[in-house]
Amino acid sequence: QVQLQESGPGLVKPSQTLSLTCTVSGGSISSGSYYWSWIRQPAGKGLEWIGRIYTSGSTNYNPSLKSRVTISVDTSKNQFSLKLSSVTAADTAVYYCARELSRGNWFDPWGQGTLVTVSS
């Protein structure tokens, strides 16, 4: 079955850009009617959707983060990526990637998550 795995630096300095990659295995990122999404969760808090990409390259972002977020896809590597610029301590969180059904918008499966800490 499809599995997702996040990767990237666990520590980012304030004002810099957070960069994460999600690698999809067990299936092609281009197959089926799916979006590929990023979601984050600060420690002890709830879930916040960051944005999504379709394999055509079309994107949607959370309005509260839109000015700082870029999501891209590399179908040749079966990967999609997140860039979040001008980070602050408030961006410290576990970041998850997930597959989102395009005709339903629920998330399944999820990656295991990766903790990103913003600190100097």
Partner 1 sequence: DIQLTQSPSFLSASVGDRVTITCRASQGISSYLAWYQQKPGKAPKLLIYAASTLQSGVPSRFSGSGSGTEFTLTISSLQPEDFATYYCQQLNSYPLFGGGTKVEIK
Q: How far is the CB of 98 from partner 1 (least distance, A)?
A: 8
Helices (H) and strands (E) in the chain, counts: 0, 11
Q: How far is the CB of 14 from partner 1 (least distance, A)?
A: 26
| CB of 15 or CB of 105, closer to partner 1 | 105
- In the structure encoding, which two tokens stand for residue 100, read together? 């989102």
Tokens 């630096």 appear where?
9
Contact (CB, 8 A) for 118 and 12: yes
Nearest to 28 by CA among 96, 101, 77, 97: 77
> What is the Cα–Cα distance from 1 to 72, expressed in whole angstroms?
23
Considering the rule CB under 8 A, would residue 113 count as an interface residue with partner 1?
A: yes
Binding mask 40-59 for partner 1 (x = CB under 8 A): ------xxxx----------
**Near partner 1 by CB under 8 A, which window of 16-24, 26-34, 75-83, 106-114?**
106-114
List residues binding partner 1 (CB under 8 A): 37, 39, 46-49, 60, 62-63, 96, 98, 100, 104-113
